[in-house]
Structure 1
Amino acid sequence: MKKIVNYWFLFLGIFALIITTSCSEDTGHDPLEKNGNAPGEVSNIAIQNLSGKVRLTYTAPSDEDLLYIVAEYTLENGREMEVKSSYYSNTMLLEGFSGLSEITVNVYAVNRSEVKSQPVTITVKPKKAAIFAIKESLTAQTDFGGLRIRAQNPDTEDIAILVMQRNDQGDFEPIPNSIYTSASEIDQALRGFDTINQEFAIAVRDRWLNVTDTIFTQIKPLFEQLIPRAQFKGLKLSNDAKADYPVSNLFDGQTFWWWGSYFTSRTVDTENHLVTFDIGQITKLSRLHIWNFSEPIGGQQLYYYLGAMKQFRIWGANELNDGDLSGWTLLGEYEVVKPSGLPYAQENNDDLVAARDGADYEIPIDAPAVRYLRIQCLENWAGGEFMAVSEVQVFGNPNF
């Protein structure tokens, strides 16, 4: 036993020596090489001025210890920028310009000892940033409960459309639900405003804080209300899909539990999985707010699963027929997008946040007023047509 203990202490002593030696040789983040000679300069720089960007192509010096090429410049708004490119590449993209002025750029070669070459100074004049074209395409129109913003963003730039109103001090400031997007086609309603004349100021900003001039407009939002579900009534037309639950489950106030949800039969082979209901009066619709059913699987709720609708249509009419859709008006066709993009049966917190409170499906403002509604599931997340819906709320103006 004594020998074992002695060997153990010997092992600990050697281990401590190794650790001490390793720590004593730690040189922090200093370059591994010590070459104080500056590398050669970058040459043959070609400039391609783009919208809010500049692409440089160049010839790097032939130094064996070259590590990267770096471009340094200051944006019009004072932000200092640095863009690096590996020595394997001969091009780099400089971003963040407003495109309203010429900018000086210094280009350096840097070796493995972090020694810079002499700068090569160039002048770039990028085209106007995308935000200015987006602003020119932007329209603001009255909508139910607020205003609708439309704009074109063909380059799918990350932008903010700042919708502003006056604060208590009389200064314009962005409202909380301003638009942040990279969508190519921007078409978004901002709601929650009183139906009186409202003054709005609107500007477009990019992620480098370049901002356009401001658009000023007066908007009087259209009246919108939640249509009382007490006046709703489930219907059954000849081509509605078989269901084991009453249609009234769609508007019973239950947004989570299976016994308050509506399911069409998975075993029924029918051309259309349709459900029909009466909202009680002819109404100019603004939107339907729909909660897809969430399946409890493996201790979590999956919202993009089985019969939850992935693609669907909303139909409307003022007279009932035998169910033939030729007698109904198509109010909208919709696709539900899972934010994470994860494979089927895999969901993350982004998906949960997007789905748990339901979602708005807007009805075009030029659609006719209707009394009867049908929801048609075109495809669910399992790839079939049967539907699983927890709840539907209807918004609009019955006094149109």
Structure 2
Amino acid sequence: MKKINRYSTKTVLWLGVLALAMLAGSCKKNEGYNTEPVSNDKTKPGVITNIKVDNFNGGANITYDLPNSDNILYVLAKYNINDKTARETKSSYYTDTVKVDGFAAVKDYEVTLTVVSRANVSSDPVKVTVHPQTPFYRLIKPTVTITNDFGGVHIEAMNPNRKEVGVILIALDKTTKQLEVADQHYTNTDTIAYSVRGFESEPTQFGVYVTDKFGNLSDTTVVTLTPLFETMLDKSKFSVYRQPSDSEIGYGWNLPYLWDGKTDGYSNGWHTQPGTGKPMQGTFGIGVLTQLSRIKIWERPLEYAFFHGNPKNFTIWGSAKESPADVVLPQSAPGGTVVGDWVNLSNFRYPNPPSGLTPGFTNAADEKFVAAGVDFVFPATAPPVKYLRILVHDTWGKGDVTHLMEVSVYGKPQ
């Protein structure tokens, strides 16, 4: 691996726009009090005294004593967080501390503090030096790994403090011959793990770096990887392989609707019949023996998002037999478990609503997430199969009925 700090002109411009957008909303903080003049007293306020600095990751808290005056409105801190970006923060006269943050590195930074009166008159400036500890985006960067995956790359990193960061993937553009931004993944989760697909199975130069909400950028790790071959299987070759243990069909939502290409929520999907006592499952053939990479699932959207019969925990079982025998599969089994002609390819859990809202009280962002479909990745150790069985263990609505709108299956046909 090698590390660089150089980007294409297009990438630099993109980063500049991103930084300006973030700074527009964060550089001049309004702490909730009126900054318009509210006094006719033009007396120049005194300066703060007894200054103390408490450094933390990427910033510092500066405490002080205010001058003895009833005409003070706030304390203003001005500072540069890197070579390009200036910030300012304010702290009202009700407190004795101002927070300065967003610093890019572990080094001395100068902060200028002034007292501002109710008549908008500033005191003489007082300069103080802060020395922030390692910013979180820099702590996260050494944990980043990038490896080849089906159709692209897989990226992992650790963010134990759950800070808002962006993991940015760049890739060599065949047209510009430059490393261009290929994906932007913004998150505050403690464990970062995701895949970016859509690349050819050929040696490709990739790079990854970490950014924070202040526009700071880590160094970039660049590697050359060859994505594993992946293709979406031809759904015209899918077929129902109904077995005695499969669920009864409810409301005319037959299994073939799972691969008719319709995900809008107004068309039919697959829907089981409630009250039968059977497992919530369906079995179908995928037409060709395939080393599976992932399955993309569209649950029932709109008012059903994260609700009713949409699967929450489920297992995908597979079989390589030409005519696999039916068997009642366990509701709980580790991945790789073999039961009769069937192998547990992987156990999955549908993600929680991105909004963080209680399921059943979702918003437009959650509905957009559902409408886009969700990828569930199979382990590389999963064997090639020709038949799939979806076994739903429980649903968001906690009932005995399940439904889905569509599935797409990806992998490498044998």
Shift in Å, 1:71: 1.4
Q: Establish whether residue 383 from structure 1 lines up as the match of residue 390 from structure 2.
A: no
SS of the aligned residue for 2:292 comes to: strand
Note the C-alpha offset of 1:366.
3.4
Structure 2 residue corresponding to 1:289, chosen from 293, 296, 303: 296
| Structure 1 position 280 matched with structure 2 position 287 | yes
Q: CA RMSD in A?
A: 2.6
Q: Which residue of 2 aligns with 1:323?
A: 328
Work out whether residues 258 and 390 of structure 1, in 8 Å CA contact, stay in contact via their aligned partners in 2: no
Q: What secondary structure, in the 3-state scheme, does the structure 1 residue paired with 2:286 have?
A: strand
Q: Deviations over 1:102-139 (max 9, x none)?
A: 10012222221222223332111112222222221111
Q: What is the match of residue 304 of structure 1?
A: 306
One-letter amino acid matched to 2:391: Q
Q: Structure 1 residues 70 and 373 mapped into 2: Cα distance closer, same or farther (>3 Å)?
A: same
CA contact (8 A) 2:304 2:310 kept: no
Q: Give runs of aligned pairs for residues 14-25 of structure 1, distance below 5 A.
A: none
Which of 378, 389, 395 is matched with 2:410 structurally? 395
Question: In structure 2, what is the Cα distance between the partners aligned to 1:320 and 1:67?
Answer: 79
**Contiguous gaps of at least 5 residues in structure 1:** 1-28, 296-300
Alignment of 1:139-288 (within 5 A): 139-167=145-173, 168-175=175-182, 177-244=183-250, 245-256=253-264, 260-269=268-277, 272-288=279-295
Q: Secondary structure at the match of 1:356?
A: helix
Which residue is 1:10 aligned to? none
Contact conserved, 2:275 with 2:400, CA < 8 A, in 1?
no
* Match for residue 369 of structure 2 among 344, 348, 354: 354
**CA shift in 2, pair 1:366/1:124, >3 Å:** farther
| Number of aligned residue pairs | 365
* TM-aligned CA distance change 1:59 to 1:257, over 3 Å: closer
CA distance in structure 2 between the partners assigned to 1:366 and 1:134 by the alignment: 29
SS of the residue corresponding to residue 178 of structure 1 reads strand
User: CA separation in 2, counterparts of 1:217 and 1:117?
Assistant: 53
1:43 aligns with 2:45: no
> 1:368 Cα deviation (Å)?
3.1
In structure 2, C-alpha distance between the alignment counterparts of 1:83 and 1:74, rounded to whole Å: 11
Is the Cα contact below 8 Å between 1:294 and 1:305 reproduced in 2? Answer: no
Greater CA drift, 338-347 or 238-247? 338-347
Which residue does 1:98 correspond to in 2? 104
Q: Give, in whole Å, the separation in 2 of the partners of 1:134 and 1:94.
A: 21
Deviation at 1:201, TM superposition (A): 2.4
Q: CA deviation at 1:237?
A: 4.0
Pick one of 76, 92, 108 that aligns with 2:82. Answer: 76
Aligned partner of 2:27 in structure 1 is none
- Aligned-pair CA distance for 1:259: 5.7
Deviation at 1:224, TM superposition (A): 0.5
Deviations 1:117-175 (A, max 9, x none): 23332111112222222221111101001111111122222222222234444332212
1:38 aligned counterpart, secondary structure? coil
Residues 99 and 30 of structure 1: is their aligned pair in 2 closer, same or farther, counting only changes over 3 Å?
A: closer
Alignment CA distance shift 1:161-1:357 (3 Å): closer
SS in 2 for 1:324: coil
* Structure-2 change in CA distance of 1:67 and 1:259 (3 Å): closer
Question: Structure 1: how far apart are the matches of 2:366 and 2:165?
Answer: 22
Shift of the 372–170 alpha-carbon distance from structure 1 to 2, 3 Å rule, reads closer
Higher alpha-carbon Rg: 1
Q: Please identify, of 356-365 and 67-76, the stretch whose mean Cα deviation from structure 2 is larger.
A: 356-365
TM-score for the superposition, normalised by structure 1: 0.82
For residues 78 and 267 of structure 2, what CA distance do their matches in structure 1 show?
Answer: 63
* Overall identity of the aligned pairs, in %: 30
